[in-house]
Structure 1
Amino acid sequence: MRGTTGSDVIEHPGAAADDVPTRQRIIEATVRLIVQEGVRSLSHRRVARSAGVAPGAPYYYFKTIDDLLVHAFEEAFEREEPGLAAALQAIAAGEDVATTLATFLHARLADREYLVLLNEFWVVALADERLRPLGRAWGQRLQQELSQYLDDESAAIMAVSLIGGLAQWATVADPPMTVEQLARVLRRGLVGPTSSSVCGVPD
């Protein structure tokens, strides 16, 4: 350790020269590699090279690849938090549930990196129980919020399931689904083919 005078900074092993903390650079590099090459390609050495940090830096912050994955996927879920919060506020203010969720989902589906991360997450979570709480927390939070505006808890679970399913379908859909198409799918799933009640707009 050295003294800190003027512009001196105490650095962890492998700290980057720019203003982005080394730990964050490592997480961002992990996300980048997952998107480009998939989870199976990950190693501490490859992450260090992609992050532009010393080979030992990823080991310093994340002892295992599982640790890296947990933090990388946490970041992926955090990316959607502002949009999700805005959508829930709009629904609370009386906006149509199906259309509001469709607009939120459409914006997220336009982010190819997010789509790849999300689908990689669900695949890896099948085998890695450490990741499952992240998925449960996301689904339960959305379910609890939506249950206030839908007929019952089952409708809220259906909405969460539809959002997850549509995110998977979007990886192969051609052409991409529009907001209107997404809203129709959500509305049909939530209220059925003939009802016009809970989502505000007739089917």
Structure 2
Amino acid sequence: MSGGTKRNDPERRQRIIEATLDVVAEYGVTGTTHRRIAAAAAVPLGSVTYYFATLDDLIAAAFLQLAEQSSEEFAKRMAMAGDRDSAKAAIVAIIAGSIWATPRTLLLSYELYAFAARHPPVAAVMRRWMSNSRAALERFFDPLTARALDALVEGIGIHNSIDTEPLDEDAIRMIVDRITGMDNIMRQN
């Protein structure tokens, strides 16, 4: 046996995935390379290709992690709601707060949607993310309203990230009230 021993790095694969999200946030999917990921993860270039057969496989794994983490945070926040009014407050907090509206998460989400449009396995991840969000919302709202609220969460976040006059929390609350007020009208009919 040679004088050195091979060191095991059980977190290396995870570091590579997290570095991929950092690289995608900085350079976009089109500017993401194996070399940039290896440098960001502080691993040899060969480690990236050892764990992931293709760059698309690695990007898909990173986006899967992003979707799962975002979905979990959304579900946790909605699970804290005990009634319809607290669910509405949770939606406002999700839109206006740090769960969805961080600049990094928004950038990654833009990239994720574009990547998913061209990669069916990632589109399936997106559909699961939407399904999980809607299920959390359907505890308090009918399926159509839940779908509208799900789209609202992402839509306002995206618009606010580039709008010169982003909606503030009060405006977001008014919009949520209007959408959920329509839900009440539909349930009465």
TM-score range, shorter-chain basis?
Answer: 0.7 to 0.9
Equivalent position amino acid for 1:113 in 2? R
Q: Which position in structure 2 is the counterpart of 1:117?
A: 108
> Normalization by structure 1: what TM-score?
0.78
Report how many residues are paired.
Answer: 185
Q: 1:140 aligns with which of 107, 131, 134?
A: 131
Offset at 1:134?
Answer: 1.4
Q: Structure 1: how far apart are the matches of 2:121 and 2:170? A: 37
Question: Which residue is equivalent to 1:165?
Answer: 155
Q: Unpaired segments of 5 or more residues in structure 2?
A: none
Query: Would the aligned equivalents of 2:71 and 2:133 in 1 still touch at CA under 8 Å?
Result: no
* 2:173 maps to 1:183: yes
Deviation at 1:102, TM superposition (A): 1.0
**CA deviation map 1:99-126 (0-9, x unaligned):** 2111022223442111101111111111
What residue in structure 2 maps to residue 104 of structure 1? 94
Q: What TM-score do you get using the length of structure 2 for normalisation?
A: 0.83
Contact map agreement 1:158 1:190 (CA 8 A) in 2: no
Cα distance, 1:149–1:163 mapped onto 2, change above 3 Å: same
Gaps of 5+ in 1: 3-7, 199-203
Q: Deviations over 1:104-161 (max 9, x none)?
A: 22223442111101111111111111111111111111212322311x2111111112
For the Cα contact (< 8 Å) 1:109–1:170, is it kept in 2?
Answer: no
Listed one character per residue, the Cα deviations across residues 9-65 of structure 1 (whole Å, up to 9, x for unaligned) are: 742xxx5xxxx8211221121111111110001222221122221111110111111
Q: Give the superposed CA RMSD.
A: 2.8
Output the CA distance in 2 between the equivalents of 1:104 and 1:45.
35
Q: Does structure 2 conserve the Cα–Cα contact (< 8 Å) formed by 1:83 and 1:104? A: no
Q: Does 1:21 align with 2:3?
A: no
Residue identity matched to 1:61 = Y
Which one of the candidate residues 31, 34, 39 is aligned to 2:24? 34
Moved more, 33-42 or 173-182: 173-182
Choose between structure 1 and 2: higher helix proportion.
Answer: 2
